[in-house]
Amino acid sequence: MTTPTMEQSDTSTYDAQVTLRVHRFSPRAEKKRERKSNPFARKSSPFGGSHRPRGKSWVQEYTVPVHADDSVLDTLLRIKRDIDPTLAFRYSCGHGMCGSDAVAINGSPTLLCTAIIRDMAHREPAAPVTDNDGFRKTGPATDEAATAVAEAAETAAVSAEEAPRDEATGRLDLGVIELAPLPGFPVQRDLIADIDQMLEQIKKLKPYLMHNGELATTKDGKIDVFEYLQKPEALAKYEILTNCIMCGVCEGACPVYSGGEAFVGPAALINQARFVRDDRDQATEERLEAIDTADGIAACQSVRACSRPCPKGIDVGEEIWQLIAQVKER
Amino acid sequence: MEEMYDAIIVGAGAAGLSAALSFYRSDETRQNMDLGIEPKVLVISKLQSLRSHTGSAEGGIAASLGNEQPDCWQWHYYDTVKGGDWLVDQDAAKILAQEATKTVVNLEHDGVAFSRTNDGHIAQRRFGGHTKDYGKAPVERAAYAADRVGHQILHSLWQQCIGHGVEFAEEWYVTDLAVDQDEQQVQGVIAFDTHSGEVHVVRAHNVLIATGGAGRLFHTTSNSWDLTGDGMSLVLRAGLQCEDTEFVQFHPTGLAHTGILLSEASRAEGGTLRNADGVAFMQNYAPEHGDLAARDVVSRAIRAEVDAGRGIADPRDPEGPRDCVWLDMTAIEPGHMLAVLPQVVETIQKYAGLDPTKDWVPVKPTAHYTMGGIPVTTDAEVYTWHDGERHIIEGLYAAGECSCVSVHGANRLGGNSLLDACLFGSRAGESIARRVAENPVLDDGSTIIDEDALIDHLGQDRQDALHDLVAHADDAEQPEAEAAEETTDNAYKLQEQLGQLMDSSLAVLTDAAAIERAQQVITDELVPRAMQLHSHAEYTSFNQEITAIWEVQNLLKLAQAMLTASAARHESRGSLKRLDYPERDDASFLAHSMTDADGNVVWQPVHIIDMKPESREY
C-alpha cells in the first residue's frame, strides 16, 4: 500500500495547455411576486423568450494545463477544483450516458464529457493576454468578442505537433475552446440551461408503452410465455431510437426549435417514433394523430441540423422525415 | 407551514421509480383513488429526471427465465448465497431468486427494449458466478438489452411514472432526515431546492430512501459524480445504523485511470485478462470459471499480478504506476462485438483512443458497488439492531444500493443489483401503499402537525447552516482575487483527497495499520477542514458548491463508519480482504456489522435457512 498523497495534484505532467472561454451568467435575484393573477399580464409567447431571465452576462477565460486527450468536462472539473469553485455546469456520469451536460462548444451543441480537448481547441490569430494565474478579465460580450469568435471558427483545429509552445511554461498551446449554455433554452446560471420545456413537450405525447396486456397462449389456452414476444428484426426497427438520453443537443441545434410552444422539437418526435415503430405498442394511430399538428410535424422544416450532433448516433432528421411520411400516408 | 405528504421518495433511479410505480399500481392505492382519495406522493431527486446512475448499468439483470438454457430459481438462489460468501440473508435471497422472473417480465411490459432470441423471447447471457446445477457450469441468466440495460430500465420506469402522473421535485437535495428517537417514527425530510436556493421542511408519514451508492468515497470509481452516499449518511446522522458497510465491490475492469466501467459482458462475450507477459492469468486463480469468476476474485487476482510486478502502466501515462492489466477482446468477432457491446467499444475508442478489435485495453479494479447500507427487512422497512432483535422505524423505508436487505452479503453477483433495486423497490412501494391506505393524508386539515417537532428544529438548523456557508463568501465579482489565493480550500479538493486516501487504504486489500492511518487523517485533517468549508459565492440559487460541501460532509461521515466496520471485522470475506486476517472466520463473524455514527459496532447473525456455509471456490 502506498502512502496517501495529500499534496495538490502535480501539474508538471501536463504537456499542453488550453484556454476555455466561458460565457457566464448570473441571474438577478428575483423579487417575490404576488400570487394574484393579473388579467393584463402578457401570455407566454409561442416563440418562447418572454421568460428570458435577467441578470449579468460576461465572458471569462481560464488557461489551464491539460493532456490533449482529456475531455472538456475533466478540464472544467479541474477548474472547479483548483481555480474557481463558483463556475456552474451540470454533469453526472462523465461518459455520455446520463445526458446532463449538453452545452454549446464553439457554438455547436454537444456533451461536455464526450468532447475531447484536442478535437475542440482552435488556434486564434493572436493569443489572448493572460496574467500569471491564467486569468484574463473580460467585459460583457462586445463586437470585438464576436469577431474573435468568428475568426476562431475560421481557423482550423491544430494538431499537437503544429501547436506553438507557451514561453513561460514550455507547454504546447492548443488554443481556445468556447463554451456557452445550450442554445434554445433559457440560461439559469453559467452553463446551466432550463430544459424543462423539452421534458414537458415529451411528456405531453404520452411517452410510455401502451399495450393491451394480452399474452400469447398455447393451443389449450394456457399462458405460453410471459413476456410480450418480439422478433429481433422487429426490435431492430426501433432499437436505436431507445438510445435517446434526452440531452437536448438536437433541440439546441434545430433552427426552428426555440424552447417555445411553436414546435414540439426533435426530441419529442424521436420519442414518439420510438413507440410508433415498436410493434408492442398499440397506440400508433393516436400517436400519429397527436403529432399531425401545426406545432408537430408541420413545424419541422427538414433542415436536418439535428442529425449530426446526436451523441447517441441517432439520425434524428432522417427518422423525423420517415415519421412525417408515415403521418401523411395515413 | 409546509405541506404534509403521504410519502416522500428520495431518489429517482431504478429503486425509487419502481417504488413509485408499484405504489400507484397497488390494490390499496387504486381503491383509495376510486374513493376519490388522491395520494400525495413526491419523488425528490438531486438530479434532473433520467440522469440517475441506473442509466449507466450495462450488462444485464439476472433472472432464471430459462430462455437460452434450462434454469431454475433454486440455482440462482444458491449462486447468490455462495457469491456473497455466505453473508447473505437467505430469506431475502430466496425472494430475490423467486421473484426475479416476475420482475424482469414486468420491466419488459413497461417497455424495456430487451435483446431477443430468434423466437422473440428475452435474450440472456452468461455472467460471473451464475451457474447451473449448484455451481457445476456457467448458465446464461442475465437478461440484457445490448449493453445498455440500465438505460433501458431507467427510461422505461420513468416513462411509466409519467403515465401515472407521478410528481417530481428535481434538483432538490435532501439534507436531513427527521426520525423521532422516542417514538421510533419518521417525520419527514429537510430538502434544499438548488434552483431557488431555499430550504424546505417536507413532512411525510412515510419516507423511502433510494439514493444509490457511495462510489465517490474512492478516487477510482465507476460511479457518477453524484454517488456520495447521501442516504446512508442521512440515516447515520439521524442516529440509526448502517449494515455491512465494510463490503465494497471493486469491478475488475475499469478503463485504466478513468475508472469508467467496461461491462462484465466484455468477458462474457469472450474477452480475456492478460498480464504484462501476455499470460491469461485467471486460469491460475479460478480454474473452472477463469475470467468469469466472481468480481472480488478477479479484482484480487489483478492486484496479485500487479503486486508480483506483472502489471502494466496505463499507455496514456507510460511513466506512471504499473497498476493495470490488459483486457484482450481481439478474439471476439468484430461484427459481433459491435452488435452486443456497442457501449464498451465506444467507451474504449473515446476515452482510451484504442480499437478493441485490434488493441489490448488497459484495465484496473474500480470502486463499483456498496453491498452494505441502510438495514431493511424484506418489506423494505428500516430497522435498528439492539438487544438481539430488530426495531422497526415506523414509516421509514429504504431500497436499492443504499439499502442492505442483504441479498449480496459480502460480494454481489453481476446482474443482481438492478434486480435488487427493481424488486425490493417495488416491494417498498407496496409496503408504503399498505401503510398509506390505513392512514391517508386528507385535504380537510384533519392531519395534526406538531409545530414544535424535531423536523422544525432540523429545518432551522439547516437554514442557519446555509446562511453561514454563504455569509463568508469571498467577493464573487472578483474571481481573479480568488484564483490568486490558491490555498483557499474547497469541497472539490477535499473530496479528491478523501478518494485518494480511501483508494490507498481500503481498496481491494487492507489491514489494521492502513485502516488506522486513514481514520487518523480523516479525524485530524479532513473533518476539521470540512467543517471550515464555505461557499465562494454569496448566492444560494444554482450554487453547486453548497451541495458539494454537504456531499463531502456526508462522504466523511460514511467513510468513518466504513473504516470502523472494516476495523471491527477480523477476517477476510467476499470483497473485504484483510492481509492481517486472511481467512474467513465463521465462528466469530458469520454476522452483519451494525455500525452507528458514534463508532459502536454490534453484530446481527446471518439468516441461514436452507444452506449451511461451505467454502467459496471458483
Q: Domain of A222: which CATH number?
A: 1.10.1060.10
Q: Chain B: residue nearest A67 by CA?
A: B316
Q: Is A34 among the domain residues?
A: no
Q: What is the pLDDT of residue A182?
A: 97
Chain B hits for A26, CB-CB cut-off 8 Å, are 476, 539
* CA–CA separation, B590 and B593 (whole Å): 10
Q: What is the pLDDT of residues B108-117, one digit of tens each?
A: 999 999 999 9
Q: What does the pLDDT average to over B558-572?
A: 98
Same domain, A232 and A167: no
Check A60 against B479: CB less than 8 A apart. yes
A residues 227-266 lying closer than 8 A (beta carbon) to B: 227-232, 234-235, 238-239, 242-243, 245-246
Report the number of distinct structural domains present in chain A: 2
Q: What is the pLDDT of residue A201?
A: 95
Q: Determine contact: A55 vs chain B, CB below 8 A.
A: no
Q: Is A38 among the domain residues?
A: no
Q: What is the pLDDT of residue A138?
A: 56
In this predicted model, which residue has the larger pLDDT, B62 or B453? B62
- Specify the range with the lowest mean pLDDT, choosing from B2-11, B367-376, B592-601: B2-11
Residue A5 clears pLDDT 80, i.e. is over it? no
Q: DSSP secondary structure string, A277-330?
A: S-TT---HHHHHHHHSSTTTGGG-----TTTTT-TT---HHHHHHHHHHHHHT-
Q: Is A7 among the domain residues?
A: no
Domain boundaries, chain B: 255-365, 454-584
Check B260 against A95: CB less than 8 A apart. yes
Q: Using an 8 Å Cβ cutoff, are B413 and B294 in contact? A: yes
Q: What is the pLDDT of residue B484?
A: 43
Nearest beta carbon to residue B479 from set A86, A206, A229:
A86
Same domain, A68 and A173: yes
| From B141, B148, B216, B295, active-site residue | B295
Same domain, A66 and A203: no
In this predicted model, which residue has the larger pLDDT, B449 or A172? A172
Residue A321 clears pLDDT 60, i.e. is over it? yes
Name the domain boundary from A189, A219, A239: A189
| CATH architecture under which domain B255-365 falls | Alpha-Beta Complex (3.90)
Q: What are φ and ψ of residue B377, in 5° steps?
A: -80, 175
* CA–CA separation, A267 and A270 (whole Å): 5
Name the domain boundary from A159, A189, A219: A189
Residue B392 clears pLDDT 50, i.e. is over it? yes
B295 is catalytic: yes
Same domain, A52 and A135: yes
Q: What does the pLDDT average to over B72-90?
A: 97
Q: What is the pLDDT of residue B477?
A: 43
Nearest beta carbon to residue A4 from set B155, B501, B509:
B501
Q: Whose CA is closest to A192, among A102, A285, A60, A69?
A: A102
Q: What is the pLDDT of residue A222?
A: 58
Q: Chain A: residue nearest B56 by CA?
A: A97
Q: Is A9 among the domain residues?
A: no
Check A278 against B56: CB less than 8 A apart. no
Check A231 against B501: CB less than 8 A apart. no
* CA–CA separation, A134 and A60 (whole Å): 11
Please give the angle made by the CA atoms of B177, B181 and B187, to the nearest 5 degrees.
40
Q: Determine contact: A26 vs chain B, CB below 8 A.
A: yes
Q: Chain A: residue nearest B343 by CA?
A: A97
Same domain, A143 and A258: no
Chain A hits for B497, CB-CB cut-off 8 Å, are 4, 6
Confidence tier at B362 by pLDDT (50, 70, 90): very high
Residue B177: DSSP 8-state: E
B residues 183-242 lying closer than 8 A (beta carbon) to A: 195, 224-226
Q: Is A183 among the domain residues?
A: yes
Q: Determine contact: A185 vs chain B, CB below 8 A.
A: no
Q: Encode burial over B568-588: b for 16+ CB neighbours within 10 A, e otherwise.
A: bbebbbbbbbbeebeebeeee
Shortest CA gap A169–chain B (Å): 18
Whole-number percent of chain A with pLDDT over 70: 74
Q: Choose, out of B52, B65, B118, B155, the residue to mutate when testing the contact with A (most A CBs < 10 Å).
A: B155
Q: Using an 8 Å Cβ cutoff, are B250 and B368 in contact? A: yes
Q: What is the pLDDT of residues B160-212, one digit of tens each?
A: 999 999 999 999 999 999 999 888 999 999 999 999 999 999 999 999 999 99
Q: Determine contact: B353 vs chain A, CB below 8 A.
A: yes
Check B113 against A60: CB less than 8 A apart. no
Residue B483 clears pLDDT 50, i.e. is over it? no
Q: What does the pLDDT average to over B2-28?
A: 95
Same domain, A177 and A309: no
Same domain, A54 and A174: yes
Q: Using an 8 Å Cβ cutoff, are B17 and B152 in contact? A: no
Find the domain containing A129 and state its range: 15-27+46-189
* CA–CA separation, B256 and B360 (whole Å): 12
Same domain, A74 and A140: yes
Residue A236 clears pLDDT 90, i.e. is over it? yes
Please give the angle made by the CA atoms of B303, B306 and B309, to the nearest 5 degrees.
150
Q: What is the pLDDT of residue B486?
A: 44
B residues 530-559 lying closer than 8 A (beta carbon) to A: 536-537, 539, 541-545, 548
ipTM of the predicted structure? Answer: 0.93
Residue B154 clears pLDDT 60, i.e. is over it? yes
Chain B hits for A29, CB-CB cut-off 8 Å, are 539, 541
Q: What is the pLDDT of residues A139-186, one digit of tens each?
A: 555 555 445 444 444 444 455 456 788 888 889 999 999 999 999 999
Name the domain boundary from A189, A219, A236: A189
Q: Determine contact: B523 vs chain A, CB below 8 A.
A: no
Chain A hits for B57, CB-CB cut-off 8 Å, are none
Q: Chain B: residue nearest A56 by CA?
A: B477
Check B115 against A208: CB less than 8 A apart. no
Q: What is the pLDDT of residues A96-149, one digit of tens each?
A: 999 999 999 999 999 999 999 999 999 876 545 555 566 655 555 555 544 544
Nearest beta carbon to residue B483 from set A135, A229, A235:
A135
Same domain, A23 and A151: yes
Q: What is the pLDDT of residue B24?
A: 97
Check A100 against B539: CB less than 8 A apart. no
Distances (CA, A) of A305 to A108, A182, A273, B362, B573: 10, 15, 18, 37, 55
Q: Determine contact: B480 vs chain A, CB below 8 A.
A: yes
Q: Whose CA is closest to A307, among A294, A290, A320, A296?
A: A320
Q: Is B70 helix (H, G, I), strand (E, B) or coil?
A: coil
Same domain, A182 and A289: no
- The count of C-alpha atoms lying within 13 angstroms of the C-alpha of B316, restricted to the half-sphere facing its C-beta, is 18
* CA–CA separation, B36 and B357 (whole Å): 60
- Specify the range with the lowest mean pLDDT, choosing from A200-214, B230-244, B579-593: A200-214
Check B350 against A114: CB less than 8 A apart. yes
Same domain, A167 and A246: no
Same domain, A184 and A199: no
Q: Helix and strand tally (H, E) in chain A?
A: 9, 8
Mean pLDDT of chain B: 94
Check A86 against B476: CB less than 8 A apart. yes
Grid cell locating B214: 457511495
Q: Whose CA is closest to A251, among A110, A72, A59?
A: A110
Helix axis angle for B90-109 and B73-83, nearest 10°, is: 120
Check A69 against B509: CB less than 8 A apart. no
Residue A49 clears pLDDT 80, i.e. is over it? no
* CA–CA separation, B132 and B140 (whole Å): 9
Q: Is A40 among the domain residues?
A: no
Residue B476 clears pLDDT 80, i.e. is over it? no
Alpha carbon of residue B11 to chain centroid: 12
Q: Determine contact: B577 vs chain A, CB below 8 A.
A: no
* CA–CA separation, B180 and B188 (whole Å): 10
Which residues, 6 or more positions from A191, have their beta carbon under 8 angstroms from its beta carbon? A22, A23, A88, A89, A90, A103, A179, A180, A181
Q: Chain A: residue nearest B319 by CA?
A: A13
Q: Whose CA is closest to B398, among B418, B412, B381?
A: B381
Grid cell locating B617: 471456490
Check A85 against B492: CB less than 8 A apart. yes
Which residues, 6 or more positions from A164, have their beta carbon under 8 angstroms from its beta carbon? A172, A173
Mean pLDDT of chain A: 83
Q: What share of chain A is helix, strand, coil (3-state, %, to 5)?
A: 25, 15, 55
Confidence tier at A7 by pLDDT (50, 70, 90): very low
Q: What is the pLDDT of residue A194?
A: 95
State whether CATH 1.20.120.530 applies to domain B454-584: no
Residue B30 clears pLDDT 50, i.e. is over it? yes
Q: Choose, out of B47, B65, B115, B116, the residue to mutate when testing the contact with A (most A CBs < 10 Å).
A: B116
Q: Is A39 among the domain residues?
A: no
Chain B hits for A95, CB-CB cut-off 8 Å, are 56, 258, 260, 347, 350-351
Q: Is A35 among the domain residues?
A: no
Residue A3 clears pLDDT 70, i.e. is over it? no
Residue A11: DSSP 8-state: G
Shortest CA gap B109–chain A (Å): 7
